[in-house]
Structure 1
Amino acid sequence: MLDALRAQYPGWPQPFTPPPPVYKIVPIEGTGLGMVATEDIAGGATIARERPIFLMPRVIPASPAERRRIDDSVVRMLHSENRRAFYALKNAQGNAAPSEVRGIMGTNSFEAGPFPTYPARYAGMARDMSRANHSCSPNATHSFDPATLTHVLRAFHSIRAGEEVTISYLSDTLVSYEARQEELSCGYHFKCGCKVCRLSGEARMVSAISRRVIRERTYPGPMREDEAAFEVWLSNAVRRNASARDPSKGMSLQLPEMDALVWASMEQEGCYEPGLWELVLERLVKASAVLENEDAVRHYAKKAAELRTAQSGSDGGWYAVAENPRQTEWWAKRSM
């Protein structure tokens, strides 16, 4: 694996420059320590980038006693400061964990990889990022960069100074309130009190419906339906543009209804479903360009740039669209 890494990433691990500090680790009422922004953070911006204290396979094919010996020996080899930082983290699994080391890892580690030629799943311990608390409507997301061997935390959207930086511990943020609480209780032994879980009555019902709307649009059938509906909308809009002297005046067409609804639901819930949000925003950008709505093109393209950067480190060309809405091929489109 080491040879493959060096072949793919010359000089591996490649050097990196940590971003300027924009957070501090402080006590948070009810959750222990947490990460709080010390200045305003823009959507897509890097909050933290750090090399893991250590990496370890999620699964080690050995007897329980041998695994415990390996775990303990790895932690013993750490620098004393890192070792203290590791043992200061919570072991939510308690005695149910095969060892204290595995319990702390299971509670606080991040996915690391993938690594070339080696399919095993790795867990990485990030010293500061491991202090980020959970929210069912997180404002930040984690990724791993194999080239620099770093964990990266970026903002989904703007975060104000003094606001807590949160991530999701859930395998699926779109499930019901009850299902979210059950997963967090079983895996981490706490009851979530985030802003979404504090909702009650009608507000909680609206939240549940919004998440269900997002979930349903991720299924293959509805995804095909939404694409087909957009093509019909686009055909009507282009035909109208072609027959109008000034399509920007008197334009009665609205943005595609389902895409507008899904995006509004994502914004409301803070749930940007991979594989869906970019398709939705792409259609909204195209539709806004056809309708010659510069502000809307900028708005949706900027959101796409922030989310793409947050999840991958690259804006995917969306900032260029936001800067020059009239330069897209869809602006005032009159033919298919």
Structure 2
Amino acid sequence: MIRPNDMVWKRDFKTRKDEIISLPSHIPVARNQGVSPTTSMLLDSDILEIPNGKPAGFDRPGFDQDTDIKAAKTAELILTTLPPPRPDRHDVRQFTEAILPRDAKDILFNLPGFPVFLEPLVKSDIDDHKPDETPCNIDTTPSQDSTGVHASREVMTGDVILCERPLVLCPGYIATADRHSLLQAHVDRMMQEERNAFFSLNNRYNSKDKIYDIYRSNAIAVQIPGCATRFVVVCRVISYVSHSCRPNAELIWDAASLSMSLRAIWPIQLGEEIFISYFNETETGPTLEMRQKWLTENYDISCQCSACQNPDWAKSDRQRVIIQRASTADYMNFYLSGDAALGDWLKDVKAADNTIYKRAHKMFEFIDLERFYGAAPWYHFHQICTVYAALGDLKNVRYWALSAAFVTLGHCGHDGGWLAIHNNPEKIDVWDCKKKLKDTMQ
């Protein structure tokens, strides 16, 4: 749909190589905001299932360049301001300047409720506590003389630190005969305040094409549901967040509200710097050498985070490898074998009660030490909650289910159904089954 303020950009595909907009495939990736729990819900029989799958929104989108090139080569691009101004909506004061293929704009406007109301910031979706103070600020990091984002209040796991609409949204790949003119037209559409914010962002390249350099330096990969094209956004504040191999925050993208959220995945103290991870360790590898090699090749930086500066790096490497292998292998094994070990324990009246959860406790000990969850912490939460539920241990089920709710909230933007487990542990399908099994054997 073309609106009065839209600009149509006709393209000549006789491109020169240096005029193709192709943002790096190794840029940070925001997880998609989940719209509902995956498997944890009250069933018709009022029995609860403990979540055993990755929550909705946990997938990191891949990048298929051929698909993106094909999707981008439509007859025209639309330069548009999103969301459309609405006098009855006080949240429509943050605008995003977008470059979109026509089909992508139609898909976006057909998302249910688009643009979804941009909720006022709350400290925690679970506690529903509304803070008065600004959650974070941009300033210079004293130790590195660089710009970073720091917490201006204490932040708990799962809290929304910041939620903002991006300054710009555009495809990660555009074939155009005049890259500079297209990007200049894009930036010229911004209001002066937004334009100033854009040109204040970090620039790692410093070539003659400043606008393109700022795009490349600050882009975050996102998806529009139902659209094959990979998109990127550049944010006013969130683009300043630095990398750490022990991140304390996660990026979550919600296309329906056209917003990027920064959520805490660990508690953050007042004044502490906020970090995300620029990579997925299932691809780069968990060891110090693997991480440093990837960061040098893709960002030309030598990471100085606490994990990389750990004097006992060999022990740290071993622990991170164990976490990564367990969370990946066990996670896949769960679906391939139905978690046979746990199933056997549930059926065996003679099996020791601590057989299964000892390993899960040890894994969480490593996770706490390394500040690293691996690919699928949900597997360990599922296993430990199932064991305590089978033993009828109300206190421990509630403790671990609430922990899982906060962790899932931080990673995915919703609790994944774990709050239902916390509130109604006796309705879990395996509740107290070990005691019942022993009673039947007597």
Task: Find the counterpart in structure 2 of residue 196 from structure 1.
Answer: 307
1:38 to partner: Cα distance: 1.8
Q: Distance in 1 between matches of 2:353 and 2:329?
A: 31
Q: Which shifted more, 121-130 or 321-330?
A: 321-330
- Is 1:152 paired with 2:255? no
Q: CA deviation at 1:100?
A: 2.4
Cα distance in 1, alignment partners of residues 409 and 116 from structure 2: 20
Separation of aligned partners in 1, 2:149 and 2:355: 41
SS in 1 for 2:368: helix
Tell me the alpha carbon deviations over residues 230-288 of structure 1, each in whole angstroms, 9 at most, x when there is no partner. Answer: 533443354338x9xxxxxxx752444544444333333222334x2112211111012
Paired AA for residue 37 in structure 1: A
Q: Please, which of 141, 152, 163 is the counterpart of residue 250 of structure 2?
A: 141
Tell me the percent identity: 25
Tell me the residue number matched to 1:184: 295
In structure 2, runs of 5+ residues without a counterpart are 1-103, 122-130, 438-442
Write the distance in 1 (CA, Å) between the matches of 2:385 and 2:353: 17
Deviates more, 1:148-157 or 1:101-110: 101-110
In structure 2, what is the equivalent of residue 211 of structure 1?
A: 320
Task: Choose 74-83 or 150-159, whichever is displaced more.
Answer: 74-83
1:43-82 equivalence runs, <5 A: 43-63=157-177, 66-82=178-194
Residue 265 (structure 1) aligned with residue 366 (structure 2) = yes
Given that 1:174 and 1:271 are in contact with CA atoms closer than 8 Å, whether structure 2 keeps it comes out as no
CA distance in 1: counterparts of 2:257 and 2:304, whole angstroms: 35
**Is 1:107 matched with 2:217?**
yes
- The answer as to whether partners of 1:92 and 1:187 remain within 8 angstroms in 2 is no
Asked if 1:6 corresponds to 2:116, the answer is no
Say whether the 8 Å CA contact 2:223–2:230 is kept in structure 1. yes
Amino acid corresponding to residue 53 of structure 1 in structure 2:
L
Measured after TM superposition, the shift of residue 206 of structure 1 is 1.5
Cα pair 2:157 2:265 within 8 Å, conserved: yes
Contact 1:26–1:35, Cα closer than 8 Å, also in 2: yes
2:197 pairs with one of 85, 94, 98? 85
Q: How much has 1:94 moved relative to structure 2?
A: 3.7
Contact 2:327 2:379 in 1 (8 A): no
Q: CA separation in 1, counterparts of 2:329 and 2:286?
A: 18
Distance (Å, rounded) in 1 between the aligned partners of 2:373 and 2:345: 29
In structure 2, the residue corresponding to 1:288 is in which secondary structure? helix
Counterparts of 1:85 and 1:163, CA distance in 2 = 23
Unmatched 5+ residue regions in structure 1?
A: 244-250
Rounded Cα–Cα distance in structure 2 between residues aligned with 1:260 and 1:55: 43
Q: Which moved more, 1:173-182 or 1:54-63?
A: 173-182
Separation in structure 2 between the aligned mates of residue 206 and residue 42 of structure 1, nearest angstrom: 28
Deviation at 1:137, TM superposition (A): 0.6
CA distance in 2, matches of 1:160, 1:315: 23
Match of residue 246 from structure 1: none
Give the structure-2-normalised TM-score.
0.65
User: Does the alignment pair 1:282 with 2:385?
Assistant: no
- Equivalent-residue separation in structure 2 for 1:150 and 1:4 (angstroms): 16
Structure 2 CA distance for aligned equivalents of residues 67 and 108 of structure 1: 18
Q: Which amino acid in 2 is paired with 1:330?
A: V
What is the CA–CA distance in structure 2 between the aligned matches of 1:319 and 1:57, rounded to whole Å? 37
Task: Look up the match of 1:129.
Answer: 238
Structure with greater helix percent:
1
Which secondary structure state, in structure 1, belongs to the residue aligned with residue 139 of structure 2?
strand
Give the secondary structure class of the aligned counterpart of 2:173: coil
- Taking structure 1 as the reference length, what is the TM-score of the superposition? 0.84
Partner Cα distance (1:186, 1:111) in 2 = 19
Change (3 A) 1:162 1:330: farther
User: Residue 248 of structure 1 corresponds to which residue in structure 2?
Assistant: none
Q: Root-mean-square deviation (CA), in Å?
A: 2.8
- Contact 1:26 1:36 (C-alpha < 8 Å) held by counterparts: yes
Correspondence for 1:240: 349
- 2:415 maps to which residue? 315
Answer yes or no: is 1:24 the counterpart of 2:126: no
Structure 1 residue aligned with 2:155 = 41
Aligned length: 319
